[in-house]
Chains A and B, each alone.
Chain A
Amino acid sequence: SQQGEEDPQALSIQEGENATMNCSYKTSINNLQWYRQNSGRGLVHLILIRSNEREKHSGRLRVTLDTSKKSSSLLITASRAADTASYFCATAGVSETSGSRLTFGEGTQLTVNP
């Protein structure tokens, strides 16, 4: 499987419910990021968690990171129809020369039904 593999591939819930998406990766990381993509558009950064952090919150988002299991989860609480999008995790490491390289997973398609 690939670095940054999301689970499930698709998730359909009702408005007001919580949505949980998981991400697994294989190699050591500097940080892990979650992005959101509306259909056919660019990605929008949601939250970044560093390898020495275990949990982070931002509004209705909660991200956890377990480096021993090489996994992360994204929880969206009290979901809204506007949360319908694809969600990607991306692992980051700094190259030897310069610049930052992100490796993306295949994404979870979240559908929130009104």
Chain B
Amino acid sequence: ETGVTQTPRHLVMGMTNKKSLKCEQHLGHNAMYWYKQSAKKPLELMFVYSLEERVENNSVPSRFSPECPNSSHLFLHLHTLQPEDSALYLCASSQIGMGETQYFGPGTRLLVL
């Protein structure tokens, strides 16, 4: 469907668990993003990585920890989450300076019990 893949597609975790979300882009882009989409709310930008360097962190709680080992991969490490963290987590990528269009993955639907 797109050049951005996300795994897992669905995740159920308890508040004491540690899990990681993975995103991979096959488009040769040099910027990657994590968004959170909750019901009845606009997409919230969480983190931006540009050229593998984190350039934005929008006051995200420390229980969310991003990692960008290279320009094609992006992780979101989760620990001691709260039920209100249940949402659709979307990864996106773009090429800086080339129209700023972002290409999204299918998302990970997260449920925190």
Contacts and interface: CB of A to CB of B under 8 A. Distances in A.
Interface of A: 2, 4, 30-31, 33, 35, 40-45, 48, 88, 92, 94-95, 97-107
A4 B45 contact: no
Contact of B96 (A42, A43, A100): A100
A45 B42 contact: no
Contacts of A102: 45, 100, 102
B66 to A, nearest CB: 13
10 contacts: A4-B42, A31-B100, A35-B104, A41-B107, A44-B2, A44-B104, A97-B50, A97-B55, A102-B45, A104-B43
Interface string B23-55: 000000001000000001111010011110001
Contacts of A101: 45, 48, 56
A99 B98 CA distance: 10
A100 B102 contact: yes
Interface residues of B, number: 31
Contacts of B56: 95, 99, 101
Contacts of B45: 101-103
A30 to B, nearest CB: 7
